[in-house]
Amino acid sequence: MGLRLSRRQALGLMLGVGLSAGGASGCRVPEISQPARPPDPTRPRAGGILKVGYHADPTTLDPHGGVPAALPIMGLIYSRLVRFRTGREVHPNQLIPEPDLVESWEQTDDVTYVFHLRRGVRFHNRPPVNGRELVAEDVKANFEWLRSSPDPRHQLHFGRIDRIEVPDKYSVKVILKEVTAPFINYVAGPYGWIVPRELLGQPTLLRTTPVGTGPFVVSEHIPGISLILKKNAEYFLPGRPYLDEVHWLIIPDETARLAYFRAGALDLLPPAVPTSPAEFELIRQALPGAQAEELPGAESFYLKVRADAGPLADRQARQALALAIDRQVLLERLFRGHGTVAGPLSPALMEWTLPADRLERAARYHRPDPEAARQLAEQTGLQGSSLRLEIPPGLVGGRAWADLLRDQFARLGLNLTGDGPAELSLQAYGFFLDPDEQLAAMFGPGGPAPVSDPYLAELIRRQRRILNKAARKQLIDEIQVYLAEQQYFIGLISASHFGLWQPYVRGYRPHSGPGSYELVDTWLGR
């Protein structure tokens, strides 16, 4: 009978750490022999294994499956026509489109994009394609599949495609039904991965046997334990990646992840891994040499207000709620101050977001003013009433959220209960590629929009059709001021996420864009 290891024992073997009594002990990773002369610490070195600690099992490796736990891995296996630039000089929330599978692209008119593919790009050498070249027909098949998918996320990004043409083997022409300003960002987004046309619509095969053109090839996947990726020797960027392997280790428990990191058994904790602010601060104190990056605005919280009926159909009643909230208290109590106030748009949308103090006449609704809140509550009949607050099941810190909001609304003589249909619902949103994506998530068809507002719907439609960036920003500023006045979603706070990596991990800076592309340029300086 073969030796059977528990999940914890298997992880211990991979991490090279000793295990508790009853299990294997003293397991060590073989040391890599060092050169006689110390290497230049400023020049990238090829080789080595990077061990990444992750919190959740990627239940599928299908790049179009939309499983959040799988998203950070996708850029290691697959490629897109366009990617977002990463690197030490790029802010983690900065979105700069650049070529990935294409040499270049151009927009020939308001609705037409022509993509020119790199030549000689090959899929991984495994069935059913066995290393064949990627060509324009693969791209066409992917876009056609995405535009016809019933998934609303695919529809938002690719549903406005009218037709795809293939002028030649290495060119793809995409014609849209209507002007869509953020289209290139959507191509570079979390659903733009290109798979061989033979595998489209086969999620069972893609779930366990992914075939892409990315910098690494999946060597082994042990569900719930690890994903082992090895360097793709045929990757289209010469000399990349630098790493020989990436070991993606599944460690759900935060305490265990950080203990492994402190012991040097893990090299990297990406910002997609939830790390509490308290633990982040502790590890910075315990390991002053560790590298860290705080990604502001990574998770934004809003109170969705039922504005179509009941006491909160009155805009002034919603404004009273906004004035009653002390967002700095929420930030300090829930996230130890690691974050910022959230306006109508997520602060992570750096070049589009109006800070709360620049919302013109509506800026006051993002600052606590208990007296003004009480006056509006009294005028609207809100004072002394009861409202139901809904907290998403499984939200970390959900009880603390409920207690803090209950205490703050008590200043209005308002009672929050758990009975009846919810008038208030706490909503959490992650990173967005463009204001259009956030506005669609909140107010689009099938979304959680708390009221029908034809004027707002027309503003959202118009901003999407403006290609001139300055003119589009002017309209998006107008939308933000309008939303701050209406308070359909009361902006609360945006919490930071954290990336942690060992001092010998070089060339790395985390990025909010989907796919872990930054690992292509990462190397080990030891």
Structural contact between residues 112 and 184, judged by C-beta atoms closer than 8 angstroms: no
- For residue 374, the Cα-to-chain-centroid distance in whole angstroms is 38
Structural contact between residues 489 and 483, judged by C-beta atoms closer than 8 angstroms: yes
Q: Is the peptide bond before 128 cis (omega within 30 degrees of 0)?
A: yes
DSSP string, 185-238: HHHTSTT-----GGGTT-HHHHHHS---SSSEEEEEEETTTEEEEEE-TT-SST
User: How many Å apart are CA 132 and CA 135, to the nearest integer?
Assistant: 9
pLDDT in tens, 49-97: 999 999 999 888 999 988 888 989 999 999 999 999 999 999 999 999 9
Structural contact between residues 428 and 395, judged by C-beta atoms closer than 8 angstroms: yes
- Which are the contacts of 256, defined by CB distance < 8 A and separation ≥ 6? none
Copy the structure tokens of residue 185: 């960002």
Burial 143-174 (b: 16+ CB within 10 A, else e): bbbbbebeeebbbbbbbbbeebeeeeebebbb
Distances (CA, A) of 385 to 251, 317, 389, 413, 433: 45, 11, 13, 7, 39
Q: Would you state the pLDDT for residue 39?
A: 61
Copy the structure tokens of residue 23: 């299990």
Whether the pLDDT of residue 468 is over 50: the answer is yes
Tell me the pTM: 0.91
DSSP string, 243-272: -SEEEEEE---HHHHHHHHHTTS-SEE-TT
What is the percent of the chain with per-residue pLDDT over 70, rounded to a whole number?
91
Strands 424-429 and 82-84: unpaired
**Residue 393 burial by Cβ neighbours in a 10 Å radius (0-12, 13-18, 19+):** exposed
Distances (CA, A) of 18 to 8, 25, 29, 257: 11, 4, 11, 15
pLDDT band at 372 (very low <50, low <70, confident <90, very high): very high
User: How many Å apart are CA 181 and CA 440, to the nearest integer?
Assistant: 14
Q: Would you state the pLDDT for residue 29?
A: 41
Give the mean pLDDT of the chain: 91
- SS3 at position 292: strand
Residue 497 identity: H
Q: What secondary structure, in 3-state letters, does 40-56 show?
A: CCCCCCCCCEEEEEECC
DSSP string, 298-364: EEEEEEEE--SSSGGGSHHHHHHHHHH--HHHHHHHHHTT-EEE--SS-TTSTTTPPPGGGSGGGGG
In residues, how long is the chain?
Answer: 526
Nearest to 71 by CA among 273, 230, 211: 273
Structural contact between residues 25 and 19, judged by C-beta atoms closer than 8 angstroms: yes
pLDDT in tens, 343-362: 999 999 999 999 878 898 89
pLDDT in tens, 145-197: 999 999 999 999 999 999 999 999 999 999 999 999 999 999 999 999 999 99
Copy the structure tokens of residue 249: 């280790």
Q: What is the dihedral of CA 498, 524, 267, 101, to 10 degrees?
A: 60
Distances (CA, A) of 295 to 298, 353, 510: 6, 16, 8
User: How many Å apart are CA 283 and CA 277, to the nearest integer?
Assistant: 10
Whether the pLDDT of residue 324 is over 70: the answer is yes
Domains and their CATH numbers in the chain = 7-15+42-290+502-524 (3.40.190.10), 296-497 (3.10.105.10)
pLDDT band at 6 (very low <50, low <70, confident <90, very high): low
Q: Would you state the pLDDT for residue 41?
A: 67
Helix (H) or strand (E) holding 400: helix 398-409
Copy the structure tokens of residue 25: 């002990």
